[in-house]
Amino acid sequence: MATKLEQLLASIDPAKTYDRTFARANTAISSFGMKTGQITDHQEFIEYLTRFFCYVESAILNSSHSEPFDLDHDWDWCRRLLSRLYGSRGTVTAFDMVRTGNEGGLYAVLKAIALRTAEEYADNEIHHRVSDYWDHLKPDEVLPAVHEYLDRYGHLLPSEITENGAASVCGNFFTILKRHPKLLRTLRNVGR
């Protein structure tokens, strides 16, 4: 029978979190009725990106987003996402790309929105699962779990984390577990 740690790591494996979420985002990109060319009207830009954001979010969550969407509410989420993607002037940068066609234009902005949304939802799912595991871990189970993790994955961790053994890993174990799927995903993508 699998240990609690093995069950957690299996549930947050990148194939079950990132890969599935990114696959749904990519399907949304290709199935969205995408405009060709440029959008030069700012209000049209806002409405189009908001509609796309809602479409992608629904695809990632496997739910249906009933139209009409709430432009003010949903645009606010999209605007914040653009700021995380392109900096404090994210909306201006994205509009400039869409308006001019530079740096990949509309397609590049839509793809960035979709993939970032997918990543954030996968991160949230992983955080929730690790938090649930951590909250149900008894104090006397922490050190054995750390040793179990180090036995299997210690060679993948930076030496500054593992140089003092399980004691130093204990203090960072929650964060290590949250980052575990990204670490595995990076390693799996090396050499592709």
Same domain flag for 128 and 107: no
* Cβ atoms of residues 14 and 147 within 8 Å: no
Domain that holds residue 179: 4-16+124-189
pTM score over 0.85 = yes
* Cβ atoms of residues 123 and 22 within 8 Å: no
Same domain flag for 55 and 131: no
Same domain flag for 69 and 11: no
Same domain flag for 40 and 110: yes
Structurally, the chain folds into a number of domains equal to 2
Joined together, the tokens standing for residue 154 give 């210690």
Among 103, 119, 135, where does a domain finish? 119
Residues 6 or more apart whose Cβ sits within 8 Å of residue 100:
38
Among 67, 92, 119, where does a domain finish? 119
DSSP the chain: ---HHHHHHHHT-TTTTHHHHHHHHHHHHHHS----S----HHHHHHHHHHHHHHHHHHHHT---PSSP-HHHHHHHHHHHHHHHH-TTHHHHHHHHHHH-GGGHHHHHHHHHHHHHHHHHHHHHHHHHHHHHHHT--HHHHHHHHHHHHHHHGGGS-HHHHTTTHHHHHHHHHHHHHHHHHHHHHHHHTT-
Each residue's pLDDT, cut to its tens digit, for the chain (192 residues) gives 889 999 999 999 999 999 999 999 999 999 998 777 789 999 999 999 999 999 999 999 988 655 566 788 899 999 999 999 999 999 999 999 999 999 999 999 999 999 999 999 999 999 999 999 999 999 999 999 999 999 999 888 888 777 776 777 888 899 999 999 999 998 887 755
Among 96, 119, 142, where does a domain finish? 119
Give the N- to C-terminal CA distance of the chain in Å, as an integer: 33
Same domain flag for 103 and 149: no
Same domain flag for 145 and 64: no
Q: CA-to-CA distance for 181 and 11, rounded, in angstroms?
A: 10
Per residue in 61-117, pLDDT (tens digit) is 988 655 566 788 899 999 999 999 999 999 999 999 999 999 999 999 999 999 999
